[in-house]
Chains A and B, each alone.
Chain A
């Protein structure tokens, strides 16, 4: 069974601070995605990383895929209240059934609150 552990589970910080969220597994993934979910809504994809060691930047958010493709991190610089939400990592690896549907395992989530 593939598991994705996220840490920390909860994070409450002041506006302007930096933070890092971690996503760890003992399994290797072919790709890893980060989603953000706001209350009462579904998750929205932020980024997909595919290559071991890959780093992607999305404005103040920096995503890194571990060299061994088992872990990932999300770093936010100068957090803003608009960054508040639940951050989910999701690893893709292996296939379900015979229809080519790639299995996606979701992490347990990190709930971020940025206080103005």
Chain B
């Protein structure tokens, strides 16, 4: 039982490049989400999904796309990287009520030059 896995761990991009951050969970949770973490700003929700084929925007969705073709996988795509997207990205899988526990992956540290 690996929980939530994310790849890559580190990535450096040039402005304008695109890439996909991978996320997978093996807990059969319906709810998954992507956050970015910036100093002094806490974790901010980018996109979330309530099940395969169903995604929606969070607090800071601009510049990012997601898809959810299976329960296990929830990739995050950066369409045209910008320096403002330099951040640490976390994928989370969420157990629904009553515990409502979120399980986070180890994160991807992204630098956009």
A interface vs B, CB < 8 Å? 4, 9, 31, 33, 40-45, 48, 88, 90, 92, 96-97, 99-102, 104, 106-109
Main secondary structure of the interface of B (DSSP, over half): strand
Task: Find chain A residues with CB under 8 A from B48 CB.
Answer: 96, 101
Q: How many A-B residue pairs have CB under 8 A?
A: 56
User: Residues of B within 8 Å of A, CB-based: how many?
Assistant: 26
Task: Find chain B residues with CB under 8 A from A45 CB.
Answer: 101-103
Q: How far does the alpha carbon of A63 sit from the alpha carbon of B101 in the complex, in Å? A: 17
Task: Find chain B residues with CB under 8 A from A104 CB.
Answer: 45, 102
Q: Is B43 interfacial (CB-CB < 8 Å)?
A: yes
Min CB distance A62 to B, Å, is: 20
Task: Find chain A residues with CB under 8 A from B99 CB.
Answer: 48
